[in-house]
Structure 1
Amino acid sequence: MKFEIASELAYEIHSPTTLLINIHALRSPGQTIIEETFNIEPYIRIEELTSIHYENRFIRLEVEEGTNLNISYKAIVDASHKIIDQRELEAVPVVALDGNVIPFLFPSRYCQSDKLSTLAYKEFGHISNVYEKVLAIVDWIYENVDYVSGSTNSQTSAYDTITERTGVCRDFAHLGIALCRALTIPARYFTGYSYKLNPPDFHACFEAYIGGQWLIFDATRLAPLNGLVKIANGRDAADASIASIFGRYTSNGITVSCRALDDNFVPFTHENAYHKAIAVNAI
């Protein structure tokens, strides 16, 4: 499925500042970038970096003096989505996990799974099928946490969300990850562009490792699961932040869009997930 994605970030820089920008679509076997452009006004020399662990793409730039900085990215991306019969999915025991999957079992900065194990086992421990267990986690979050724009900040963790029962997509993803890990299900953070997300913005959800593959889940139910273009993965948002800025600045706005270029798009929603699983950007 081909998507046209675009984003613009505007900042007022007050002092010498270094920025790490993470808005490029990920290159992977299941996600092909057909064309892309990246512009900065005023012009500043940039350096593209790739994360060693997650293949995330970062742009590093240094602003030496105060200025108004405008960053824009646009791309056409062919993103594949694999539909899987959920009856074929089985849990992978820890002893059989690949080494690159094991880190996604551990607690992390925003996903304190060690603090949520009692709740996780009380609510979901009785469910034997691992895929159905993750679906139950997603349903529980949707039913028990209110989606309220602006209700949290960059310091909010899964433990805070379970206490305050409000959050945005980032918080819903962190809570889903933490509850999965508490039940010995590897889970990782997903950030990307999302088709039909209203209002348009960058979107966060999570992937769980089931049956030897990463499957996508979104407790917000705000967008079709096959309408996602991946930017980055990580243990949590700390590994996949859209912008990490070291210096004094003011954000002057973010604009994001994602448009399907194929006419035959059929949305894969949360309701579909009870019958079929979906792996995003997979072949």
Structure 2
Amino acid sequence: MNEILITSRLRYEVTERASFAFSIVAARTDHQTVTKETIDLGDDVAWTMVPYGSGTHQLLRLTVDPGELDLSYTASVTVSAQTDRPDGLDEVPFDEVPAEVLPYLNPSRYCESDRVGNFSFRLFGDTPAGYDRVKAISDWVHDNLVYESGSTDGSSSATDVLLQRAGVCRDFAHVAITLCRAIGVPARYVSGYGIGVDPQDFHGFFEAYVGTDWYLFDPTGMAQSNALVRIGYGRDAADAPFATLVGRADLLEKEITVASDGKLEKEPATASTA
């Protein structure tokens, strides 16, 4: 087990009354336990925590008047990864994919899997199906894309990134998800924190459904799977932004730190039931 320490600070200048939904709180899952957690918004800001989706994903919601909003979140999270490597896990036949998993086979806003089917099969059609194939897809993305800050924006999709072969963490995840779905493997976007992310920020990675569980992958190669802390998940990054607001506010500062309280264990494959 690894104990991961997280600090997240967001500072806004609110110019008109605004309502926020922040997705920055570590999720509660079978493989991830929040042992300590603090949320600081000052004495005059009322907030609520509400479950989202399956309930493992928590949204921090609040409404504030004009002025400065300073949000600080700290947590200690124990990540308990599986110790066996699931290299032999096979893909789930389509007629056995659980109903709640089916949406993660479909194209989405940033993951146009219907446009890259032939491309994906040319690359990975002969790779042994299952965990090995997903790992091959993640490795291919890592080897064939360049991590380049500022190379993409909020409108960039997986096909855009495949053409220019450069992007940031969310783009790496979107490309891997797209290639997985195109070849018939359910895959979804995960937002979270990771040890080793550079520059340190909210991190985007993905998980694929093989066997009977979801398994985490980070195609950027920055963080081991057992050094990742989940916040939330969705079809792509549009479903898991770190902040959504209605009103007018400018982000003045974003500071994220993620560290281990000791030496990380050797990386196993990480399942993350949610």
1:152-231 to 2 correspondences below 5 Å:
152-231=152-231
Alpha-carbon separation, structure 1, partners of 2:95 and 2:173:
26
Q: Report the more deviating stretch, 41-50 or 93-102.
A: 41-50
1:1-283 to 2 correspondences below 5 Å:
1-41=2-42, 43-53=44-54, 55-64=56-65, 66-261=66-261, 263-268=262-267, 278-281=269-272
Unmatched segments (≥5 aa) in structure 2: none
Quick one: which amino acid aligns to residue 113 of structure 1? S
The answer as to whether partners of 1:138 and 1:217 remain within 8 angstroms in 2 is yes
What's the offset of the Cα at 1:135? 2.1
What's the offset of the Cα at 1:202? 1.5
What's the offset of the Cα at 1:30? 2.0
Unmatched segments (≥5 aa) in structure 1: 269-276
The answer as to whether partners of 2:216 and 2:271 remain within 8 angstroms in 1 is yes
Alpha-carbon separation, structure 2, partners of 1:59 and 1:173:
25
What's the offset of the Cα at 1:196? 2.4
Show CA shifts across 1:93-141 (max 9, x none).
0111112111111111111111111211121122233222222212221
Quick one: which amino acid aligns to residue 265 of structure 2? V
Aligned length: 273
What's the offset of the Cα at 1:164? 2.0
What's the offset of the Cα at 1:16? 1.8
Alpha-carbon separation, structure 2, partners of 1:198 and 1:280:
24
Q: Report the more deviating stretch, 85-94 or 221-230.
A: 85-94
Quick one: which amino acid aligns to residue 24 of structure 1? V
What's the offset of the Cα at 1:42? 6.7
- The share of aligned pairs that are identical, in percent, is 36
The answer as to whether partners of 1:8 and 1:71 remain within 8 angstroms in 2 is yes
**TM score, norm. by length of structure 1:** 0.90
Alpha-carbon separation, structure 2, partners of 1:67 and 1:82:
46
Alpha-carbon separation, structure 2, partners of 1:280 and 1:194:
16
Distance 1:118 1:281, change over 3 A: closer
What's the offset of the Cα at 1:144? 2.0
Alpha-carbon separation, structure 2, partners of 1:164 and 1:265:
34
Alpha-carbon separation, structure 2, partners of 1:107 and 1:251:
31
